[in-house]
Structure 1
Amino acid sequence: MHQSGSQRLAGLCQVTEHLFLSNGRAANDKVLISKFNITCIINATEDTKNISTADLEYVHIPVTDSPSSLLSNYFDEVADKIQLNSKHCGRTLVNCNAGVSRSATLCLVYLMKYHGLTLLEAHKWVKSCRPIIRPNIGFWKQLIQYESKLRGCATVTMITSPLGEIPDIYQEEIRDMFPL
């Protein structure tokens, strides 16, 4: 599926044949939901806006976008739901308010668990679909721990930078911000 740059940034983007990622606005756009044949919405926000219908299942994951939020409590539940939905030829849309942190984190988990990707590979994949993804630091730590549980090792580590603790994959961005 070819997506324009503005569609990838602002709206709904396709991660796999059966997985989509978006912000809250796109997740509530009935035209988009219909256009992409979405059958399940996983809403990772504090708000619950249950819009389940006969054709659309709605799952609410009640988390805030805070480094102290335990999104990892929902990792397997969400990944398993996306996989089950795809086995039944369904299409799942994962959203949060901005489509940047919570929903992106959940998409990374799914790719690690069901597509066998490392965290580093999953991040590159999702970032290529939606360049603005940026899980918060707490979610990165939970992702690293989850990858270690799945694979026995981690492909991303936390490092100290002038901005505080960050995943090492952001090291290049920091160098650009603070040249020698």
Structure 2
Amino acid sequence: MHQSGTQRLAGLCQVTEHLFLSNGRAANDKANVSRFNITCIINATQDNTKMSTAELEYVNIPVTDSPSSLLSDYFDEVADKIKLTGEQYGHTLVHCNAGVSRSATLCLVYLMKHHGMTLLEAHKWVKSCRPIIRPNSGFWKQLIQYENKLYGCATVTMITSPIGEIPDIYEEETREMFPL
């Protein structure tokens, strides 16, 4: 389920029937939260500022957007929380500061664990909903390890590029930026 251009501009993107992805600004917009019937917000930043409302569950995942951050410590907890919220007819909004790396990574994990998608499929799906996603290289390594744990194989590998280690799905994009 994809959203209109207006919803994309609002910074809030619908990933599945009950999962949304956004930046921090859109997540803190009470009108957005109300309009999309958000019942659970997962904040993947070190800022634990909560919106005050009795109907809204708030989960803080206190990680920085650094390749050395162990976001994988929270993969199962977050994926299971998103699933449980959906089973209870709620909607989850996952956000970080920009809605590009941490929150996108957590959405990829959910799709792999609870929708049976490979990492490559999950990335294509979330990127089609929010074209600006770009998990950092450390999160990619953790995603690849997680896919191996779930399925015993990996659909994405890390490669060496002029800008350091990147997932192979970025290879063409990087070649365009740094022609030989």
Q: Distance in 1 between matches of 2:3 and 2:137?
A: 31
Q: Which residue pairs with 2:60 in the alignment? A: 60
Whichever residue aligns with residue 14 of structure 2, its letter is: Q
1:12-161 matched pairs, under 5 angstroms: 12-161=12-161
Where in structure 2 are there 5+ consecutive unaligned residues?
none
In 1, are the aligned partners of 2:3 and 2:14 still within 8 Å (CA)?
Answer: no
Q: 1:9 deviation in Å?
A: 5.5
In 2, are the aligned partners of 1:40 and 1:92 still within 8 Å (CA)?
Answer: yes
Q: Distance in 2 between matches of 1:152 and 1:17?
A: 28
SS of the equivalent of 1:81 reads helix
SS of the equivalent of 1:65 reads coil
Q: Distance in 1 between matches of 2:70 and 2:143?
A: 11
In 1, are the aligned partners of 2:21 and 2:95 still within 8 Å (CA)?
Answer: yes
Where in structure 1 are there 5+ consecutive unaligned residues?
none
Q: 1:7 deviation in Å?
A: 3.9
How many equivalent pairs are there? Answer: 179
Greater CA drift, 169-178 or 118-127: 169-178
Q: Distance in 2 between matches of 1:149 and 1:157?
A: 15
Q: Distance in 2 between matches of 1:16 and 1:117?
A: 13
Whichever residue aligns with residue 127 of structure 2, its letter is: K
TM-score when scaled to structure 1? 0.96
Q: 1:65 deviation in Å?
A: 0.4
Q: Distance in 2 between matches of 1:120 and 1:101?
A: 16
Q: 1:3 deviation in Å?
A: 1.7
SS of the equivalent of 2:38 reads coil
Q: 1:10 deviation in Å?
A: 5.5
In 2, are the aligned partners of 1:9 and 1:131 still within 8 Å (CA)?
Answer: no
- Percent identity reads 81
Q: 1:158 deviation in Å?
A: 0.2
Q: RMSD of the TM alignment (CA)?
A: 1.2
